[in-house]
Chains A and B, each alone.
Chain A
Amino acid sequence: MSRTIRLLLLLILILTGCYDRVDLNELEIVVGIGLDVTEDGKIKATVQVLNPSSLTNGNSDSEPFAQIESVAESFTEAVRYANLYSPNRLYYPHNRLIIFSEEFAKTHGTHHVIDWVMRTEEPREDLFILITSGEASDVLGTRFPTGPIPSFEITQIVLTSYVNSVSTVTTAFNYAKNLASNIPITVFGRIEKTTETNGEMITYSGGALIEKHHFLDYLTETETKGFNWLTGQYKTGLVVTRTKNTEDQFTFEIVRNNSKVSPVLKDGKLTFEVKTEVSGRIIKMKSSKSLLDPNAWPGYLQVIEEGIKSDMKAAIDKAHTTGDFLGLGDLVKRKFPNYWRDNEEAWEKIWPTASFTFDIHIAIHGVGKINRFM
């Protein structure tokens, strides 16, 4: 009995064959995509693929990677047509990056790219989306002295950017979630390539505002920092105080941060409470007073607090001019659904009038090995 069924199964196997089998040597492994706009308004997709043999053998003369460019009317066509220039099938699951050029984000919009990423089974949802003001293909093709594959290096830069928190990391999923929750503006990471005398350089700092689907504006490093503070994404980084008073100067390194913005509705008036608890250590200071003097500490905390507050204020000021990229509307919507229902239409006008209150709690957990400035 069981034997016959097993025979049937074998029969099915033999008769049907294997439809989904694609061998490794029939694949081109895509590790990065760059999207640009050509002069006549078409889309240029640059696909970075690996050349495995040169990567593992090391001493090969051939390039470790190749950039396949294809131009088409729409994004999906461009990505698909890249296959025309490749001997093998392009394989996207290992792609970690999509770099948009500013021009692309302005003219074509980023949303249909994200739709493709979220819909099809090959690209990963947690790939990073970045924006550059120059040519995306250019950024993608940067040569790094540290490693052969630019995409890997850029990925690594993005992954380690939490150290300074002056840039933001946005994945396709974050963006898609924002779109789903009707958060109007998403902040993308900004990557720039600069050519200097000693070679090419990549900087990953600041951010770019994307309103729904289209490019809006850039964020400076300070504004990005403030954005990270207010959205609780600030991980570690420096607070450098540059007060007019030359007596006290600090470099304070944040080790742990827990910050949260909560809307408060009182008598129909909206305020935002910013609650921040940070702990960190002093890694450099210049002060006339010794740390052993207990009276000096409140002053230090004051200075650090001012530093953090100024970052946040920079971001809030920016938001007042560009639009709510801090996700404040979403906070209100979740906390006061009724208020939101009444005021959704006029939200753009209402929220700039809302005031911010700051409650910053700083814990200095380390002063280092010496206790006063030399």
Chain B
Amino acid sequence: MAKAQFTNGQIISMVAVFLLGTTILISPGQNLGKYAYLSILLAFGLFLLMLGFYYLLANLEPKKSIFALNEMAFGKILGTLINIFYLIYFFVLTVLVVANFVNFINTTILIRTPDMVTSSLLVAVVAYSVRAGLKPLAELSVLVLILTAVTVVSVTLMITEIFNLAHFLPLIPSDWNAILDNTFTVFAFPFGELIIFLGFLGVLGKPDKVFKNVSKGSFLALIMMLLVVFRNTLVLGDFLPMTTYPSFETARLINIAQVITRAEVFIALNFIFNGFIKASITFYSLCRGLKETFRLKSYKHLVLPIGALVALNAHLSFPTIIQNIYFNVEFYRYYAIIPQVILVLLTYLVLLFKKRSAAK
């Protein structure tokens, strides 16, 4: 059979859906309320900078993943250790996404169902799709992106009735420290998580093409994210920082002539689709990483045991969304900055140095 080809649209939508994955529900920087968009924009600026580095790194050795690059840069033993660190990070990421899912579902839709059941169901679906490979996932993500766009836009249009522009006043924030602090959080989650794509870059195609699409996809995600954040602020105002799921809360307020109500279910459906794609991509990257680090022929039979581990860990991670938010702010960003920024830069510099010295 012919080798799978990824079209531009597929890469764009994978990136966009990945970034929107959980953010569609938990707006980043929501504790800032009306100023969340500022920290999103700042974080996106930082992210573009990092994307440049990722591009430079990928261009050093096209068609190689971050795992192979690590080994090239640090030698076999140290490289493997760093790879294992990355694998743990990817695993944590998968767990976090699934845990997010489970928390959401268990606070809004299936209240009495035990966490373990929901997480097993979701992980089973994710495992099934990861076994099917990346190609079906990419194809599905195009549909999911369209679905997301339709949901976001239509929910926004349906709620314009209760928009209040005054919610954005005063325009100039008084506390810039909080915004900068949040920028850090927003960079670590969700933008920096895009490092996961370095795990299977070679599969997607040439770095030039891939990065062009990645930046397009992240721009698209940024626009949608801002749309969501603006909408939520316009509707919820000062109530926004109080809510755990602002988009869900916003959609619950839709009431057009007592006929079109209860649109929150669309938000929930959309979130599940997005989160599913995100979890599958992280899971896939994790499996590929294992395959490359330990030189396996195929990752397919690893899916089930890893899935079991993910389900267990996701079940045990956060009892409620509050711990999730607390973890993101207090712990996650300090941890994630290592694989997202520091190690990547290190690898890049070492490789560059090696290349330079080899050239001489």
Residues of A at the B interface (CB closer than 8 Å) are 1-2, 5-6, 8-9, 12, 16, 19-20, 121, 124-126, 159, 173, 176-177, 180-182, 331, 333-335, 337
Cβ-closest chain B residue relative to A15 = B117
Given contacts A20-B110, A20-B111, A177-B237, contact A125 B253 (CB under 8 A): yes
Contact A181 B238 (CB under 8 A): yes
The listed residue (A8, A9, A121) touching B107 by CB distance below 8 A is A121
Inter-chain contact A9/B108, CB cutoff 8 Å: no
The segment out of B56-64, B119-127, B312-320, B326-334 that lies at the interface is: B119-127
Asked whether, in the complex, the Cβ of B242 is within 8 Å of the Cβ of A2, the reply is no
Residue from A20, A181, A331 within 8 A of B112 (CB atoms): A20
In the complex the two chains form, is A5's CB within 8 Å of B120's CB?
A: no
The CA-CA distance from A311 to B174 in the complex, in Å, is 38
| Binary contact track B251-280/A, C-beta < 8 Å → 1, others 0 | 011010010010000000000000000000
- Quick one: which of B156-172 are within 8 Å of A by CB? 166, 169-170, 172
Cβ–Cβ contact A124 & B252, under 8 A? yes
With both chains docked as a complex, state the minimum distance between the C-beta of A56 and any C-beta of chain B, in angstroms: 20
Question: Does B236 sit at the interface, judged by CB under 8 A?
Answer: yes
A-B contact pairs, 22 of them (CB 8 A): A1-B131, A2-B128, A5-B124, A5-B127, A5-B128, A5-B131, A9-B121, A9-B125, A16-B120, A19-B112, A19-B113, A19-B114, A20-B109, A20-B110, A124-B261, A176-B242, A177-B236, A180-B239, A331-B166, A335-B169, A335-B170, A337-B174
Please determine whether B124 and A12 come into contact, CB atoms closer than 8 angstroms: yes
Interface of A, secondary structure class, is: helix
A337 nearest CB neighbor, chain B only: B170
B249 at the interface (CB under 8 A from A): yes
| Contact present for A334 and B124 (CB under 8 Å) | no
What are the residues of chain A within 8 A of B236 when measuring CB–CB?
A: 177
Query: Does B253 contact A126, Cβ atoms closer than 8 Å?
Result: yes
B interface size (C-beta, 8 A): 34
Query: Which of B110, B166, B174, B300: most chain A CB closer than 10 A?
Result: B166
Q: Determine the main DSSP class of B at the interface with A.
A: helix
Q: Is there an interface contact between B110 and A12, defined as CB atoms closer than 8 Å?
A: no
Instruction: Using CB atoms, name the residue of chain B closest to A340.
Output: B170
Q: Complex formed: what's the CA distance from A261 to B343 in Å? A: 55
The listed residue (A2, A9, A177) touching B238 by CB distance below 8 A is A177
Chain A residues with CB below 8 A from B174, complex form: 337
The answer to whether A180 touches B131 (Cβ under 8 A) is no
Q: Known contacts A2-B128, A331-B166; can you find 9 more A-B pairs with CB under 8 A?
A: A12-B124, A16-B117, A19-B117, A20-B109, A20-B111, A125-B249, A126-B252, A177-B236, A180-B242
With a cutoff of 8 Å between Cβ atoms, the chain A residues found around residue B124 in the complex are: 5, 8-9, 12
Cβ A177 vs Cβ B239 within 8 A: yes
CA distance A331 to B112 in the complex (A): 43
Chain A residues with CB under 8 A of B253: 125-126, 173
Q: How distant is B136 from chain A, measured CB to nearest CB, in Å? A: 11
Interface residues in B127-147 by Cβ distance below 8 A to A read: 127-128, 131-132
Q: CB < 8 Å: which of A121, A125, A180 contacts B111?
A: A121
Q: Which residue of A lies closest to B114 (CB)?
A: A19
- The residue in chain B whose Cβ has the minimal distance to the Cβ of A183 is B238
Please indicate the chain B residues that have their CB under 8 angstroms from the CB of A180 in the complex: 237-239, 242
By Cβ-Cβ distance, the 7 closest A-B pairs, closest first, are: A334-B169, A181-B238, A19-B113, A180-B238, A180-B239, A337-B170, A19-B112
Contacts of B114 in A (CB 8 A): 19
Quick check: B255 and A126 within 8 Å, CB to CB? yes
A343 to B239, CA, bound (A): 24
A92 to chain B minimum Cβ distance, whole angstroms, is 13
A331 surroundings in chain B (CB, below 8 A):
166
Find chain B residues with CB under 8 A from A16 CB: 117, 120
CA separation between A9 and B131, bound complex, in Å?
15
Q: Which of B111, B239, B255, B300 has the most CB of A within 10 A?
A: B239
Q: Which residues of A contact B131 (CB under 8 A)?
A: 1-2, 5
Bound form: Cα–Cα A182–B237 in Å: 12
A260 CB, nearest partner CB in chain B, Å? 10
Check B252 against A181 for contact (C-beta < 8 Å).
no
Q: Which residue on B lies nearest to A176, using beta carbons?
A: B239
CA distance A19 to B109 in the complex (A): 11
Q: How far is the CB of A176 from chain B (nearest CB, A)?
A: 6
A369 vs chain B, min Cβ distance (A): 31
Task: Enumerate chain A residues within 8 angstroms of B121, measured Cβ to Cβ.
Answer: 9, 12
A20 to B255, CA, bound (A): 26
**Closest Cβ of chain A: how far from B92's Cβ, in Å?**
24
- Please measure, in the bound complex, the distance between the C-alpha atom of A181 and the C-alpha atom of B170, giving whole angstroms: 13
Assembled-state Cα–Cα distance A331/B165 (Å): 12
B319 to chain A, nearest CB (A): 16
Report whether B252 and A125 are in contact in the complex, using a CB–CB cutoff of 8 Å.
yes
Q: How far is the CA of A173 from the CA of B162 in the complex (A)?
A: 11
Taking CB atoms, residues of chain A closer than 8 Å to B172 are 337
Give CA–CA (A65, B121) in the complex, Å. 40
B334 to chain A, nearest CB (A): 30
Cβ of A126 to closest chain B Cβ, rounded Å: 5
Q: Shortest distance in angstroms between A273's beta carbon and chain B's nearest beta carbon?
A: 15
Closest A-chain residue to B34, C-beta based? A334
Q: Say whether A334 contacts B170, CB under 8 Å.
A: yes
Neighbouring A residues of B239 by C-beta, 8 Å: 173, 176-177, 180-181
Name A122's closest neighbour in chain B (CB-CB).
B111
Q: Which residues of B contact A5 (CB under 8 A)?
A: 124, 127-128, 131
Taking the closest CB of chain A, its distance from the CB of B75, in whole angstroms, is 37
A contact residues around B112 at 8 Å (CB):
19-20
Residues of B within 8 A of A182 (CB): 238
Contact (Cβ within 8 A) B255 A12 = no
A12 contact set on B, CB distance < 8 A:
117, 120-121, 124
The distance in angstroms between the C-alpha atoms of A335 and B165, with both chains bound, is: 12
Assembly CA distance A4 to B255 (angstroms): 45
B170: chain A residues within 8 A (beta carbon): 333-335, 337
Give Cα A331–Cα B18 distance, bound, in whole angstroms.
40
Q: Report whether A159 and B258 are in contact in the complex, using a CB–CB cutoff of 8 Å.
A: yes
By a CB distance below 8 angstroms, the chain A residues around B108 are 121
Q: How far is the CA of A16 from the CA of B255 in the complex (A)?
A: 36
Given contacts A180-B239, A337-B174, contact A20 B120 (CB under 8 A): no
Distance (whole angstroms) from the CB of A195 to the closest CB of chain B: 30
- Expressed in whole angstroms, the minimum distance between the Cβ of B21 and any Cβ of chain A is 23
Which residues does chain A contribute within 8 Å of B238, judged by CB atoms?
Answer: 177, 180-182
